[in-house]
Amino acid sequence: MTRCLMWIWLPLVLCGCIMDALYGGLPDAVRMEPAIYALDGINGPHDEFNAVAGPPPLEMDAFIAFASNDVSRGGLFSIDAGRLTLLQNPYPSRRQRRPPAPGFAARRLGPFAPIPVLPGHVRGPTPFASTLVPDRDYGKPFQHYMTRKLIQKEEPLPGAGSGALASGGVWMFDADHQGRRNLYFVDDSGRVRPFFGNDPQVDDAYATYDFSRHELLFCSNRSGTYRLYRYRNASRNLNFGEWLGDAGLAGKIVPAIEFDAPGQTMAPFISGDLLFFASDRPGGRGGFDLYLSRYADGRWGAPVNLQKFMPSGVELNTAENEFRPSVLTLGFADFADWRVLLFSSDRPGGRGGYDLYLTALPPL
């Protein structure tokens, strides 16, 4: 028995050595060449923005919810759905100068059923549900010569193709059907309910949840211009429908002062220890730019223009507007995470108005 096992084990070792010699080592990261790709199968002649999607696998068929006014021919915004298919193979970087080009396609699916059509504009769809999973084998193997085993720690969201969330999760969005632009969520019964932090005299929009520090961030112009505000969920209750509508919590909202700057700060999105947002603060490239803040040593660091991380020639931020960042991340144990940035822009060359784009993010 021992001899048989030895003969099985020895060829596997030799095969691994040969493959390592041929291909320069098994990959330790999945890298996609940073470049700007338009989602032409989704983009229409008017405006598509506020897209959000779950983190992608290496072979992704991801659900997307986004705001669009194509149906109204440039009028009122409602929430549409789409799918983004993205394939990026890993590669042994010591032997290749750059990753293989990704294969991707995008298509519209039509109205997004979980968020109803309301009078006025409906924008800013955001799923409040954790993407973390217990450690498990990643079910989609690499090519035959890339045999490294992956332990998956984060999965695509939402798991169902229709956008349905796990128990306790809710979809948040903003709408102006009651006058000002305020935040709402859809509870388990499908009922639209207002967020407890709304101020009916001002505009509140774009909520995101920090699952590491259990804080909800959103933007509001209650100070006269758009700033970020936070609510600390001390109970860490992830059954969001139980407390998002509790009016007694309204007094616990405070300004997120570490992001204050002249100009407007909007559309926050938290991914682990990274906070992305859009701002037209001084020092940008024009209009709204996308920024990044990193959490370290118990605080959020000074925001940095995301363009500073991009390779030469890749125009993430432009003289036009880049808005509503959403980061798609697939997380592994002992393997570099894969991050793809989804955003909207009215840059020249699109199909009309704001269009949706994606790019890989380099190491941040």
Distance, in Å, from the CA atom of 349 to the CA atom of 126, rounded to the nearest integer, reads 28
Residue 149 has pLDDT above 50, yes or no: yes
pLDDT band at 243 (very low <50, low <70, confident <90, very high): very high
Mean pLDDT of 116-128: 94
Q: What domains appear along the chain, each with residue ranges and CATH number? A: 2-360 (2.115.10)
Q: Name the percent of the chain in helix, strand, coil, to the closest 5.
A: 10, 40, 50
- From 101-105, 231-235, 312-316, the region with the lowest mean pLDDT: 101-105
- H or E element that contains 293: strand 289-296
- Angle, alpha carbons 258-259-260 (nearest 5°): 100
Residue 248 has pLDDT above 50, yes or no: yes
- From 13-17, 141-145, 167-171, 202-206, the region with the lowest mean pLDDT: 13-17
Q: What is the DSSP letter of 319?
A: S
Contact 124, 100 (CB under 8 A): no
pLDDT value at position 19?
Answer: 33
Across 9-23, 37-51, 282-296, 326-340, the highest mean pLDDT is recorded for 282-296
pLDDT value at position 265?
Answer: 97
Which residues, at least 6 apart from 129, have a Cβ–Cβ distance to it below 8 Å?
Answer: 157, 158, 165, 166, 168, 169, 170
Across 88-92, 145-149, 180-184, the highest mean pLDDT is recorded for 180-184
- From 141-145, 161-165, 208-212, 298-302, the region with the lowest mean pLDDT: 141-145
Average pLDDT, the chain: 82
Contact 266, 279 (CB under 8 A): yes
pLDDT value at position 4?
Answer: 35
